[in-house]
Every structure is written in C-alpha cells, then in structure tokens.
Amino acid sequence: MNLPRHLAIIMDGNGRWAKARHHNRVYGHLRGAKIAKTVIEECARLNLSHLTLFAFSTENWFRPLQEVRFLMHLLRRQLLREKTTLMRNNIRFQVIGEIDRLPPEVRDVIADILDETASNTGMILTFALSYGGRQEITLMARELVRQAKLGLLDETQVDQALVAGLLPSSFLPDPDLIIRTSGESRISNFFLWQAAYSEIEFEDKSWPEFTLDDLHRILSCYSARERRFGRTSEQLQTR
Ligand code: IPE
Ligand code: IPE
Ligand code: MG
C-alpha cells in the first residue's frame, strides 16, 4: 500500500458529539484525546514518517474562557501521559504554532518532551497548537522584509522554495493527506500554503467516533488515488 509520507488530521467534532449525547462539550475533548492516542500509536506502527495533529487553532482562543482553560489543562495532561508512549514507539515530538501564547505549565511540558524525544528516530509527531496558516504566512512575510532590509536578499531571489523554507513549519514536508472529521468540508486555517496538492478526506464521523478501521479505510482509499500535480494521467504512466 502506498502510504502518505505526511498525514495531517483536523480532529474536529468533539463538542457536537458530546452535546448530542447530553454531555458537556469538554467530555467530547476528553474522548477525543483518547482517540488521538490510539491513532498516534497506529501511525507509528504503520511506519508513517510524519503525523501532524491539529489540536488548537489561533481562532480557538476566542472560545469561552472555561473551554479554553479546560483544553489547555487537557493538553498538559495528555502530553504528560503520552511521554512514555512516545518513547516506547521511538516517536519524535514537534510543535508548530504560537507556542508563546500557551500557558507556562503547558510550555514546560512541551519543552521537556521535545528534549526527551529529540533523539528518537521513528515517526515525527507534530502537534499544531495555537496554529494558523495565515499567521504562519504572515510570519514568513515579516522574515522576508527583515532579510530584505538587512540587504540579505532582493525581490529576484523570492521564489517558491524560498517562501516555503521561511515558513516556521518548513521542517515538515507538505502533507500528502489531510483528514478532517465531523462532516465539515473546510480547512479552517490549517496548512494553507502546504495543502496546495494535498489529498483531502472529509469524514462524516466526529473525532470521538473515529476508529482505526476508519483510518485504515481512508489510507487504502488514499493509496488508490492518482496524484497528478497538474499533469495528465498519460504523463504519469510514462514516467
Ligand atoms: C475539535 O472539536 C477540538 C478543537 C477545535 C479544540 P470542537 O471543539 O471544534 O467540536 P465541534 O466542532 O464544536 O463539535
Ligand atoms: C478546526 O476546528 C481546528 C481544530 C480542529 C483544532 P474548528 O472547530 O475550530 O473549526 P471551525 O470553526 O468549525 O471552522
Ligand atoms: Mg469544531
């Protein structure tokens, strides 16, 4: 099977899933965290090179304070618990997004896990936290202006490779496959530049209902897709 080198998941639908079952939205986040753990382990077992989980967007800060607080608390708890899972599976942890905006107790755990897993050689697991594609592109533009002002580059040097390389998440290859759960067919400010040629799978189930069978089904569907990158089928066959 042709597996994606980089799988990215927009883990959506926790709140609605919980509310439909007469629970508080945060119960959905708790269940969602459990699913994330099983998906991480399965992706490592499948030997994926990169898994990125969109856990909190820059826009999610505008949610009710109580929910944001709970999400931060849950994130810290999940990271602390996942440390042994990451070590056991030789997974290297990474983060993208505005990490400075996270509470200090979350930043401390992140720093600790980044350090602890730094020499792991298996899958790279990236948490997108306070992440936004537009914010990332804005940071890249600032860096371009800064370098131009210093006389390090002029406009003739600005090409796609330079732009891609100045994005804060440039250490990641573009996602081959993006899965979004919860039935919403939108990208919600995730990987705007990087998703130019990503395959996108919109899954009707909400994240707390997502199973490893769903993951396997979507991966096998991905495997059968023809990625043409603007070319024709015939061109791909004669390569
Ligand atoms: C995804 O589930 C988790 C985060 C965005 C933090 P939601 O909390 O967005 O749940 P719905 O989409 O409102 O159901
Ligand atoms: C996208 O979900 C962000 C994450 C899953 C972390 P949202 O729930 O924030 O997206 P919208 O508001 O439905 O577009
Ligand atoms: Mg949502």
Atom of ligand 1 nearest to the CA of 19: 14
User: Which of 144, 155, 160 is CA-nearest to residue 194?
Assistant: 160
For the chain, what is the mean pLDDT? 97
Strand order in the sheet with 6-10: 92-96, 124-131, 50-57, 6-10, 177-180, 199-202
Tell me if residue 189 is catalytic: no
Express each pLDDT in 29-61 by its tens digit.
Answer: 999 999 999 999 999 999 999 999 999 999 999
Condensed to tens digits (0 to 9), the pLDDT of residues 107-158 reads 999 999 999 999 999 999 999 999 999 999 999 999 999 999 999 999 999 9
Per CATH, domain 6-132+174-238 is 3.40.50.410: no
Name the closest-CA residue to atom 9, ligand 2: 60
The pTM score is 0.97
Give the helix ranges, DSSP H, for the chain.
Answer: 14-20, 25-45, 65-88, 104-116, 133-149, 160-166, 212-223, 233-237
Cα–ligand 2 centroid distance for 29 (angstroms): 13
Tokens of 132: 């936004």
Find the catalytic residue in 24, 60, 120, 189.
60
Determine if ligand 1 sits within 6 Å of the CB of residue 144: no
Locus of tokens 């996108």: 200
Backbone angles phi, psi at 185, to 5 degrees: -100, 65
Quick one: tokens of 67? 């929910």
Of the residues 12, 89, 176, 214, which is catalytic? 12
